[in-house]
Amino acid sequence: MLPLKIVVIGGGAAGFFGAIATAQVNPDAQVTLVEASRQPLAKVRISGGGRCNVTHACFEAQRLVQNYPRGGKALLGAFTRFQAQDTIAWFATQGVKLKTEADGRMFPITDNSETIVECLMNEAHAAGVELIIGTPVVAVKRNTQTAGFEIVLKSKEILQCDRLLLATGSSIAGYKIAQDLGHHIEPPVPSLFTFNIADPKLRALAGISVNPVKLRLSINSKPQLEQTGALLITHWGLSGPSVLKLSAWGARVLHDSRYQAKLLINWLPDFQLEQVRQNILAVKAEWGRRPIALHRGVDLPHRLWQYILTRVGITTEDRWAELPNKMLNKLLAELTQGEYSISGKGAFKEEFVTCGGVNLKEVNFKTMESKLVPGLYFAGEILDIDGVTGGFNFQSAWTTAYLAGSAMGTSSVGASSVTN
């Protein structure tokens, strides 16, 4: 009997992890990985600012899935089979130790993404994966005679295989292959971005961060989503974990609104409005003759306080004693629900992902096999799955790739037939 022929399209995190898993579970299988560019694992190399945030120290499937604006429900079962703890153990077996930072993000102890790239390259080599690089796949056809696939390379060469893993990330070419095979693609739109705010006075505060703030997104006067966390003022607007999370959860509605939205900022989410009022009134009573700009009643950076006052119309000379109640209420509103206009989407170079991809209802999450095309498997960002920042995107790539690889290599699993 001829060995099982498996082709993996895409040499990113998911493609490599899937190819290794399948070659390890079935050492007799012939595993070929085809990568379009000359540099496999390019995103791993640049990930996490060159350090590669491999995963997140979150070891309960129920909690882990809460970090995925899209795909969390589908991943729940998958994470019971392969989760962050398994990722740590897998890399440890290859001699790569990971460390956890205070916020839960996990990196190789070398702080160098090259460690992960080398590890995956070496393991693929050791497991006998054949690597074809610099060779885009232009089409995939089903071979009705063998129930396998014909992979058409740009060079016009055709590869035959019994099972196929599509791990082409967010590439249009990959979506098209999936579509041509009968799958539906949720329209791809960006996720994990910063907010542009066209206010020079705010931008002048670049570098100031406040933790926590509570953000509320509102589009066409309809409240949409909330996030609480750290906020960073930048040269183009707002960034920081709270903004990135909001951008991920709101990726689709923000795209549909052409990134025009209202953002309500509560600068003091740890306090009830009445508490803030009492604090301000206490300062007013104690410092009545002093300028409001110099004696703030709340714990916010001085320059930010002054900026908030200008938004309300309080000048640097205005004194507490002269502050009418109407202005005091305006100040309270500004502190707890200041309204900002999002005028566009910025870039977040540390981690950037695509929302959208292969419709999850069409995939069996026990094996990652297509429910429409026996023998076809999916892993990584090609799926309509994306996570917030913190290592969650790689974790979904490792998990889906491991499940796909293990299932593809095991001849008793999946509905596909095997050519002889």
Ligand X SMILES: Cc1cc2nc3c(=O)[nH]c(=O)nc-3n(C[C@H](O)[C@H](O)[C@H](O)COP(=O)(O)OP(=O)(O)OC[C@H]3O[C@@H](n4cnc5c(N)ncnc54)[C@H](O)[C@@H]3O)c2cc1C
Encoded amino acid at 221, one letter: S
- Is residue 346 a contact residue for ligand X (CB under 6 A)? no
Query: Side chain identity at 373, as an amino acid letter?
Result: V
Question: Among 6-14, 283-291, 308-316, 320-328, which window interacts with ligand X (CB under 6 A)?
Answer: 6-14
Ranges of beta strands (E only) in 199-260 are 209-219, 222-233, 237-239
Residue closer to ligand X by CB (options 35, 334) is: 35
Binding residue for ligand X, selected from 91, 394, 398, 402, defined by CB under 6 A: 394
Give the one residue of 397, 403, 404, 407 binding ligand X; rule: CB under 6 A: 397
379 and 368 in contact (C-beta within 8 Å)? Answer: yes
Angle CA 5–8–9, to nearest 5:
135
Q: Which stretch binds ligand X (CB under 6 A): 71-79, 193-201, 231-239, 390-398?
A: 390-398
Dist CA 159 CA 168 (whole Å): 17
* Site membership for ligand X, residue 271 (CB under 6 A): no
Whether the Cβ atoms of residue 405 and residue 165 lie closer than 8 Å to each other: yes
Does residue number 70 form part of the binding site for ligand X (CB under 6 A)? no
Nearer to ligand X, 266 or 395 (CB): 395
Helices H / strands E in the chain, number of each = 14, 21
One residue of 7, 22, 31, 35 binding ligand X per CB under 6 A:
35
Q: Is the dihedral of CA 310, 312, 317, 320 positive or negative?
A: negative
- Taking the C-alpha atoms of residue 24 and residue 45, their distance in angstroms, rounded to an integer, is 24
Choice from 6, 20, 52, 243 touching ligand X (CB under 6 A) = 52
Is the Cβ of residue 375 or residue 391 nearer to ligand X in the bound state?
A: 391
> Contacting ligand X (CB under 6 A), which of 88, 167, 300, 314?
167
Cβ 311 to ligand X shortest distance, Å:
34
Applying CB under 6 A, the span of 48-56, 156-164, 277-285, 324-332 interacting with ligand X comes to: 48-56
Outline where DSSP puts E strands in 10-136. 30-34, 55-56, 98-100, 105-108, 130-132
Transcribe 379-417 into DSSP letters. Answer: -GGGBS-B--TTTHHHHHHHHHHHHHHHHHH-TTSSS--
How far apart are alpha carbons 55 and 273 in whole angstroms? 38
Q: Is 403 near ligand X (CB under 6 A)?
A: no
Query: Which member of 352, 359, 360, 413 binds ligand X (CB under 6 A)?
Result: 352
φ and ψ at residue 187, rounded to 5 degrees: -55, 130
Kindly state whether residue 384 participates in binding ligand X, applying the rule CB under 6 A.
Answer: no
* Nearest distance from C-beta of residue 270 to ligand X, angstroms: 30
Per CB under 6 A, contacts with ligand X among 178-197 are none
Question: CB 65 → ligand X: shortest distance, Å?
Answer: 15
Is residue 20 at the binding interface for ligand X, with CB under 6 A as the rule? Answer: no
Amino acid identity of residue 100, one-letter, is: T
Q: Is 8 an interacting residue with respect to ligand X (CB under 6 A)?
A: no
d(CA 115, CA 127): 18
CB of 346 to ligand X, least distance (A): 14
Asked if 356 interacts with ligand X (CB under 6 A), we say: no
**Integer CA distances (angstroms), 357 to 19, 363, 365, in order:** 21, 12, 15
Of the pair 210, 401, the CB lying nearest ligand X is at 401
CA–CA separation, 41 and 38 (whole Å): 10
Nearest distance in Å: CB 173, ligand X: 4
Q: Give the residue with the Cβ less far from ligand X, 124 or 265.
A: 124
Which region among 8-16, 69-77, 83-91, 223-231 touches ligand X (by CB under 6 A)? 8-16
Could you tell me the smallest distance in angstroms from the CB atom of residue 56 to ligand X?
Answer: 8
Segment contacting ligand X by CB under 6 A, of 5-13, 243-251, 291-299, 403-411: 5-13
* Near ligand X by CB under 6 A: residue from 26, 242, 266, 393: 393
Interacting residue with ligand X among 104, 128, 136, 291 (CB under 6 A) = 136
- Judging by DSSP bridges, how do beta strands 158-161 and 163-166 pair with one another? unpaired
Residues with Cβ within 8 Å of 331's Cβ and at least 6 positions away in sequence, in order, are 280, 308, 309, 312, 314, 323
Residues near ligand X (CB under 6 A) are: 9-15, 34-37, 42-43, 46-48, 52-53, 136-137, 167-169, 171, 173-174, 349-353, 380-381, 391-394, 397
